[in-house]
Amino acid sequence: MTPPASNFLQRARVLTRDLRHRDLIQTALGKYEVKRDEMKARFQDWEGARAAAAAIKAEAIGRLDQHLETFAARLEARGAKVHWAPHAEAARQIIVGICRDRQARTIVKSKAMTAEEIHLNEALEGAGFEVVESDLGEFIVQLRGEAPYHIVFPAMHLTRGEIRDLFARKLGDAPSDNPEELTMVARRVLRQKYLAADMGITGANFAIAETGMISVTENEGNARLTAALPRTMITLVGIEKVLPRLADLALFLPMLATVGAGQLLSGYNTLYGGPRQPGEPDGPEEFHVVLLDNQRSAILADPEQRDALHCIRCGACLNVCPIFRHVGGQTYGTTYPGPIGAVITPHLRGLQEWKHLPFASSLCGACTEACPVKIDLHHHLLQHRRNARAQRPVWWEKLAFRAFAAVVNHPALWRLSLALGRLGQKAHGLVRGTRLDPAYAWTQSREMPRLAPQSFKQWWRQRSANRAGRDAGTGPDAAGP
């Protein structure tokens, strides 16, 4: 087993039995579900909206090269600098380089999953810079020194009591466990950071080709401040975030808010098309946009799974996933957890090392139903399984399937195996659920299904014989109800 797989199993084993964790997640997601469904119902045609969004993303991805060229040209025409990063290391070097050249002292950052993906904070801190996460949830997990739990709700696994204790320990300021007071503590601390910061780093939810703008969605206003106050602004954006037109946002913004957080529209949806322009009173003097590939072109090169690039990182598939809800976000050990994480992580970090994620699925398809851009998520999980086994077949699995085929193709063998099975189950009772049990992986926490005492064929034969006996006396008309 690869280290990521054994880590996954180990953490999953702990969390699936953690009732407190389960309560917390079910409560949070229960509230979310109510609001999500309420907002969905306000759309005149939600399914039509999904179809339109999927078609627009297919168009955007199908012409990605042209859209990126237009996007970069428009941005540069207004004084922004566009950088192209083929891989994570290149992106880190570009961003650390900009911070060094500008002699940045304090860097404020608004939530960006791409930055998590390339481990930007570690790189910046390693180079001697102070980086402050400004999104409240990210700020909390940064203080705890851990990765976000969820791509939209980073701190959803923590209670207010835990956050109060954290603030008391790290900030020396925690008046109570009232969420409002705790939020105000973070507001005060971060305000001072904002006023001092000379570098702002953001992610982007969309990149508009037509007008050369990035679009940032948030609720708190932290990204707004990150893009307003520091002298230099850097935006790290994955190349797949492209939308062809500005007007496409009229569809994508409310859809993202609806399935992402159960809102009709998020608090702030903001477009940035350059640094401060002549005649404008404020804004950064420099605006750098870093376009990140980092294996996205490899997903593009897989015609079957190309639509994984439609993803708008709303988190809807995580929220409905029975696996995610039980094992929790940090168990995955990936930047992107949940179904979309299980689909793209094997592309980003290697199929053989991460194939346990597509295997850890009930294939129920809830993710595919929830996806606002209609990514065929659960079929992609199946395709990963197929590809993983085709690349590296497992001998005992092949043998087992060959044996199974032989048994089900030969009636005599089938009857024999049933008889042996019933016998075996009797003996199994002696070791069931103990370490000696060969089926321990299953029986340690589940019931073993019992073989029926007789097969369907035996039952049918018996039934027909009984009927024949009865009918012989009463005639066909009395077959009864």
Partner 1 sequence: MNPRDTILARIREALRTPAARHDAPAPPTPARGETTAPPARDFTGLLPRVGPRFEDWTAAFAAASKELRTEFVLCETEAQVRAELLRLRDAAGWQRLAAHRGRWVAPLAGALDRPVLWTDDGYDKSALEVCDAGLTGCDALVAQTGTVVVTSASAGGRALNVLPPHHVVLARREQLVPDLPTAFRRLEEQYGASYPSMISLITGPSRTGDIERILVLGAHGPKRLTVLCW
Site for partner 1 in 179-208 (CB under 8 A): 179-180, 182-184, 186-187, 190-191, 195
Nearest approach in angstroms of CB 432 to partner 1 is 40
Other CB atoms within a 10 A radius of the CB of residue 245 amount to 13
Applying CB under 8 A, which part among 57-65, 312-320, 410-418, 446-454 lies near partner 1?
57-65
Distance CA 254, CA 240 (A): 19
Orientation angle between helical segments 136-144 and 160-170, nearest 10 degrees: 60
The count of residues interacting with partner 1 (CB under 8 A) is 115
Which of 9, 52, 143, 360: binder of partner 1 (CB under 8 A)?
A: 52
23 versus 397: smaller Cβ distance to partner 1: 23
The residues with which 130 forms a beta bridge, in sequence order, are: 106
Alpha helices in 363-455 (DSSP H): 366-370, 377-391, 395-409, 411-428, 440-443
Nearest approach in angstroms of CB 269 to partner 1 is 4
**8 A C-beta contact, residue 140 and residue 154:** yes
147 versus 228: smaller Cβ distance to partner 1: 228
Nearest approach in angstroms of CB 221 to partner 1 is 3
Site for partner 1 in 231-260 (CB under 8 A): 239, 244-251, 253-254
Coil/strand/helix, residue 216: strand
Question: What secondary structure does DSSP assign to 356-385, as a single string?
Answer: HHHHS-----HHHHH-TT---HHHHHHHHH
Other CB atoms within a 10 A radius of the CB of residue 440 amount to 14
Question: What secondary structure does DSSP assign to 152-182, as a single string?
Answer: S-TTTT--HHHHHHHHHHHTS----S-HHHH
Residue 142 engages partner 1 in binding (rule: CB under 8 A): no
Site for partner 1 in 410-469 (CB under 8 A): none
Nearest approach in angstroms of CB 132 to partner 1 is 12
Applying CB under 8 A, which part among 6-14, 131-139, 312-320, 325-333 lies near partner 1?
131-139
Site for partner 1 in 60-89 (CB under 8 A): 62-70, 72, 78, 83-86
Coil/strand/helix, residue 417: helix
Site for partner 1 in 306-365 (CB under 8 A): 306-307
306 versus 415: smaller Cβ distance to partner 1: 306
Which of 99, 112, 229, 234: binder of partner 1 (CB under 8 A)?
A: 229
Residue 20 engages partner 1 in binding (rule: CB under 8 A): no
